[in-house]
Structure 1
Amino acid sequence: MNLLRLKPLTLAIASLLSSGTLLAADATDDNAKELAEMTVRHSRPATVVQNPSPQAEVSGEQARNMNVVNTEDIVKYLPSLQIRKRYIGDRNAIIAARTTGTVQSARSLVYADGLLLSNLLGNSYAYPARWNLVGSEEIDTVNVLYGPFSALLPGNSAGATILMTTRRPENVEAHARVQAFSQPYKLYGTDMTAYGHQEQASGGFRVGGLTVSLMANHLDSRAQPMSFATATRATSGAGSVPYSGYTVDKDPSGVQRVIVGATSIDHTVQDVGKIRLAYDFGPESRLAFTFGEWRNDSTTRAESYLKNAAGQTVTSATGTSAILVNGQRYTVAASTFAPGNSETVNRLYGLTFDSRLADDWRLESAFSLYETPTDIARAASSPTATGGSVAFSDGTGWNNADLRLIWKPSGGKAGHTVTAGLHHDAYNYDYEKYNSTSWVNESSKTALTNRNHGRTKTQALFIQDEWKLAPKWSLTAGVRHEQWEATQGLIYTTTLGNNSFSDREASGTSPKLSLAWQATADWNLRASLGKAYRFPTVTELYQTEKNETTGAFRISDPNLKPEKIFAKDLTAEGAVGGGVLRLSLFEEIVRDALYSFTDYSLVTRNQNIDKLRVRGAEVAYVAPEVMRGLDLTASLTYARSKVLENQLNPASVGKWVIRVPDWRASLLAVYRFNDQVSGSLGYKYSGKQYNNADNSDQWPDTYGGNSSFSTFDAKLSYRFAKGMTAAFGVDNLTNEKYYAFHPYPQRTFHGEIRVDY
């Protein structure tokens, strides 16, 4: 039936290597026959029906019915995914999937046109994918794989692998969009409006075998506060003055605190430019080069709520001017409300080459280099001080290289598709922090206060066979062997002095197995097993630092072990009610799980947890036209996580894994009223979760907590002329106040005009 022939396009995706290169849509005669009734554009990734992972997809056209500003917004309604995006322009938008939370950035992968965008230098909120190097207007499709079931992917795929494919122009085309957004925001003593605008243009042309694609983007965004300053309870001393403006409440563990102001109020200006050149030497040989540059200039400010008796704002409370609350003295350091700024330049160079060598053989390769020639962060020591600190991460970056060879006998008579390949990656982290006599000028640096340096490298060999056992049975079996090393580890702080570490090596072999059965004409069943290793990142090993301005302290561990993951999935998918329904049962057991989490004293620790388990079920439904004019996408996920063993923190045993919610749900309904007008309604739900390893944070619906939430979004679009569309939207319609430690946005209004040529 036609619906089942469309199913691979809707729910299946190509097996992706760690290179991210995908099989060309016309790679094999067999696929062309199997998908004969399916329209596949040349720019889309190939579909492989027997891919061993559960999958989901969203197209660029579908995304136009959502409130999309940043590229990561496109995946927000896909099953089990949660993007920790705290404001428009947030550089720390990391991915949580069905078995992972919003503190595990290294357990997901993001690729664009075969090039890795994931920042695997670390495993925390500070190491998100470089979404900015893809414009939302240039996206053709986004495909998602769940779990580490392919030998072609590293263990970082344990959560989710997101594959973005941009449009490849066949003729001259151009697209432009102008957006404005506004968020009235109230919390504690803050009453402000966060606002901004974005302009994006993309397009390209084709001349013979050469295609040229261009993208440029400018974003100017002001955010709500990311953090709130709390006064410190004094253990000695006497005296106080009658300050006003502070708020007394309780933190998520029920401990009284005194909120004295808002901090980390960011203003970001981001500019992106990208060019992609692709040349077809023949119908099945293509060379593509990509260059992208992303610049970010950011300033952060703070707002003190404290007022003295004369009604003047004050930014510190120490000694005899301490705050008195219920007979207890509280102090506020002068550094609490210090401003800061940063500037970064990020560059991506990428080269891919795919070619059919012979009737039965195909070669695919990808090479990429990501570098940060400029990465400077500056901070004042107080709101009025000229001195402060300056930090440099120039030279930090990574490179990846992948090569794979695919053998498939012509006509598929042997029933096998064998893929073998090699992978290499190398990560370099270099960080230095200095005192400065003039915090706005990095040339005024003085004494070195912090140095972190290290390198990691992984080399892998893999092979995978997709075997058609019988007309209704398919077996996918593979194995991946990885050799990892960490070298040149160095940590310096003024307290610890110089510390250098011996080089380390580790290896892991990861078998994979998946069996699929076409039970009926409409239903397919698949059972998948996969082992995987997730090796420590360079900053988990070698990043130890204290932020003298905020008091935040990060502690690394050069002896961390690699994660050992064993994942299972049982999936059924088929046609129901004009759409495609997928039902999945999953379990993941992780030994030596790598976690980085922050407690309420702002101490972040990297550690191994001996054994974790996550079990659950996922239901996903996609109906392109469930009724005339109405498209529906919906999902519901339940996950029961549990810490099984943890010698470092016995109090956590038997408790929920941090940041993994019990329930997740999403819904996107798009209705086309006529050829000119369409509207959408989106819904996201996330249930109970914890930030403390011992689950002591029983009051999560406050700053510092990880709250459940239920939010609605809406958008109305009107095409008022050929190729010209205006739209208005609202995110968080009910103005829900919710938190992922930091506050998420409140009700936000969007307006845009789009032109397509």
Structure 2
Amino acid sequence: ALSWTRRTTAGGLPLQWTAGVEANGMRDGRTGFVNNNGTQGALRRDETDKASDYGAFAQFDWTLHPSWELVGGVRASRVKLSIDDHFVTAASPDDSGSTTYNNVSPVLGLVWHALDTLNVYANLGRGFESPTLTEVAYGPGGVGSNLGLQASTSRQGEIGVKWQQQRQRLEAALFDADSHDEIVPLSNNAGRTVYQNVDGVRRRGLELAWRGGFGEQVGAAANGVAGSRYEAGLAYTYLSAYFGESFLNAQGQTVNAGNRLPGTARHSLNFDIACRPLPPLVLGAEMHVDSRIYADDLNTQAAPGYATFNLRAGYEFRLGKTRLFAFGRIDNITDRKYIGSVIVNEANGRYFEPAPGRRFFVGLRAAM
């Protein structure tokens, strides 16, 4: 990657712009074998997969007025995926091939510095997401490749506010995104995930975040809320993600418009609080809550919501010129049994994957 940034003026007002190019490449040797009840059998797949992408971008930040800032940018992308099949037989025809995706994505935003402590902003842009090598690995029915999978494009908008005063920070944002050719799982069978494109997937929601510090901590560095004896944070996300158009699933059943997007929680909440009873010691507690998530496009199977609680502690000390920080945590202290993730559209009904139980973690960090 190579980029160039310059500060200048436009119309006598400050302007900063950046332009650059980047390139990425990956080569993946993929093999597969017959599964004989857990024992590796004969070779059934041998190929070389390649992915490359090239991009050029430019962005600017222009202070139109002491209270107004205009930001924008554009990115041109070219992504190529290719498969070189080395396992070609009468029962397994040549799956070699390649596909290329091209896109130009613009974004434009406006920031209003309403007060020294308050910013109001709005952004509008277009997104681009090409398939990955994993997503094109299996074609319909779990055989061959899926190089006909299209890239997903989206239109996204966001408005929000950011407020900070002394040791308090508050952020709020409303977002809206509509996608075309969204890449979603069609089926999961025997460890093989087949993906498809679906139009009209929509995501709308709200994000709220607050962090604050209370009480003076003698001997602590005054940086944000770091100088506080007590510190707390709260983050909440409301997400309405659903299919805006009906389509057929792998079994030929109709997925109705309005069904929720599998694997997404409508409500998500995180809360943490920390106390520094002494400058070198910090104690903390955390809570995480997720509402239920659906595991299939038809919305007939769902993992129930859950809440987990964690504890953490840390202690800073010195050995000569070395600054050491010993820390530890206990996650899921109540040993709650819950579903940690789902396998969307699993063909045999094995949708749910259990999360770990109570977990312990300790570590030591050193700095000179």
Q: TM-score, normalised by structure 2?
A: 0.81
CA distance in 1, matches of 2:57, 2:315: 50
Q: Paired residue for 1:608? A: 197
AA of the residue aligned to 1:470? H
The CA deviation string for residues 522-581 of structure 1, in whole angstroms up to 9 with x for no partner, is 2100100110211112232234699xxxxxx68752100100011111110113683110
Q: CA deviation at 1:725?
A: 5.3
CA distance in 2, matches of 1:577, 1:654: 44
The CA deviation string for residues 56-84 of structure 1, in whole angstroms up to 9 with x for no partner, is xxxxxxxxxxxxxxxxxxxxxxxxxxxxx
Contact 1:555–1:605 (Cα < 8 Å) also in 2: no
CA distance in 2, matches of 1:653, 1:407: 48
Q: CA deviation at 1:426?
A: 2.3
* Match 1:639 to one of 239, 242, 255: 239
CA distance in 1, matches of 2:35, 2:338: 38
Once the two structures are superposed, the pairs formed by residues 471-486 of structure 1 within 5 Å of their partners are 471-486=66-81
Contact 2:182–2:198 (Cα < 8 Å) also in 1: yes
Tell me: CA distance 1:430–1:596, structure 2 relative to 1, closer, same or farther (3 Å): farther
Which structure would you say has the larger RCO, counting Cα contacts within 8 Å and 6 or more residues apart? 1
Q: Paired residue for 1:562? A: 151
AA of the residue aligned to 2:361? H
* Match 1:580 to one of 153, 164, 169: 169
Contact 1:661–1:687 (Cα < 8 Å) also in 2: yes
Tell me: CA distance 1:422–1:712, structure 2 relative to 1, closer, same or farther (3 Å): same
The CA deviation string for residues 576-634 of structure 1, in whole angstroms up to 9 with x for no partner, is 683110010001111111123765875522111122001000001122x2333012222
Once the two structures are superposed, the pairs formed by residues 181-330 of structure 1 within 5 Å of their partners are none
Q: Paired residue for 1:681? A: 285
Other structure's SS at 1:497 match: coil
Tell me: CA distance 1:709–1:510, structure 2 relative to 1, closer, same or farther (3 Å): same
Other structure's SS at 1:499 match: coil
CA distance in 1, matches of 2:231, 2:104: 43
Tell me: CA distance 1:753–1:431, structure 2 relative to 1, closer, same or farther (3 Å): closer
Q: Paired residue for 1:503? A: 98
How many corresponding residue pairs? 337
Other structure's SS at 2:135 match: helix
Tell me: CA distance 1:710–1:651, structure 2 relative to 1, closer, same or farther (3 Å): same
2:230 aligned with 1:626: no
Tell me: CA distance 1:676–1:408, structure 2 relative to 1, closer, same or farther (3 Å): closer
**Structure 2: unaligned runs, 5 residues or longer:** 217-228, 342-351
AA of the residue aligned to 2:214? V
Counting aligned pairs with the same residue, the percent is 21
* Match 1:417 to one of 16, 20, 33: 16
Q: CA deviation at 1:647?
A: 2.8
Contact 1:491–1:543 (Cα < 8 Å) also in 2: no
2:25 aligned with 1:433: no
Other structure's SS at 1:733 match: coil
Q: CA deviation at 1:488?
A: 3.8
Other structure's SS at 2:247 match: coil
Q: CA deviation at 1:661?
A: 0.4
CA distance in 2, matches of 1:753, 1:459: 40
Contact 2:247–2:256 (Cα < 8 Å) also in 1: no
Q: Paired residue for 1:223? A: none
Contact 2:28–2:48 (Cα < 8 Å) also in 1: yes
Q: Paired residue for 2:257? A: 653
* Match 1:530 to one of 113, 117, 125: 125
Once the two structures are superposed, the pairs formed by residues 360-509 of structure 1 within 5 Å of their partners are 402-409=1-8, 414-434=13-33, 447-490=42-85, 492=87, 496-509=91-104
CA distance in 2, matches of 1:478, 1:559: 30
Tell me: CA distance 1:481–1:651, structure 2 relative to 1, closer, same or farther (3 Å): same
Once the two structures are superposed, the pairs formed by residues 143-154 of structure 1 within 5 Å of their partners are none
Bigger mean CA deviation after superposition, 580-589 or 462-471: 462-471
Tell me: CA distance 1:424–1:674, structure 2 relative to 1, closer, same or farther (3 Å): same
AA of the residue aligned to 2:208? V
Contact 1:450–1:494 (Cα < 8 Å) also in 2: no
Contact 2:74–2:105 (Cα < 8 Å) also in 1: yes
Tell me: CA distance 1:464–1:589, structure 2 relative to 1, closer, same or farther (3 Å): same
2:360 aligned with 1:749: yes
Other structure's SS at 2:294 match: coil
Bigger mean CA deviation after superposition, 614-623 or 448-457: 448-457
AA of the residue aligned to 2:354? P
Other structure's SS at 1:533 match: strand
Tell me: CA distance 1:544–1:451, structure 2 relative to 1, closer, same or farther (3 Å): farther
AA of the residue aligned to 2:4? L
Q: Paired residue for 1:694? A: 298
* Match 1:596 to one of 185, 209, 214: 185
CA distance in 2, matches of 1:745, 1:446: 31
Other structure's SS at 2:196 match: strand
Other structure's SS at 1:432 match: strand
CA distance in 1, matches of 2:235, 2:4: 36
AA of the residue aligned to 2:56? L
Once the two structures are superposed, the pairs formed by residues 88-103 of structure 1 within 5 Å of their partners are none
AA of the residue aligned to 2:18? T
Other structure's SS at 2:309 match: strand
Q: CA deviation at 1:675?
A: 2.4
CA distance in 2, matches of 1:612, 1:433: 33
The CA deviation string for residues 642-678 of structure 1, in whole angstroms up to 9 with x for no partner, is 1012433332531111111001111221110012432
Q: Paired residue for 1:23? A: none
The CA deviation string for residues 247-276 of structure 1, in whole angstroms up to 9 with x for no partner, is xxxxxxxxxxxxxxxxxxxxxxxxxxxxxx
Tell me: CA distance 1:714–1:600, structure 2 relative to 1, closer, same or farther (3 Å): farther
Contact 1:687–1:708 (Cα < 8 Å) also in 2: yes
The CA deviation string for residues 215-240 of structure 1, in whole angstroms up to 9 with x for no partner, is xxxxxxxxxxxxxxxxxxxxxxxxxx
AA of the residue aligned to 1:660? T
AA of the residue aligned to 1:424? A
Q: TM-score, normalised by structure 1?
A: 0.41
CA distance in 2, matches of 1:502, 1:408: 45
Q: Paired residue for 2:306? A: 709
Tell me: CA distance 1:599–1:644, structure 2 relative to 1, closer, same or farther (3 Å): same
Contact 1:491–1:544 (Cα < 8 Å) also in 2: no
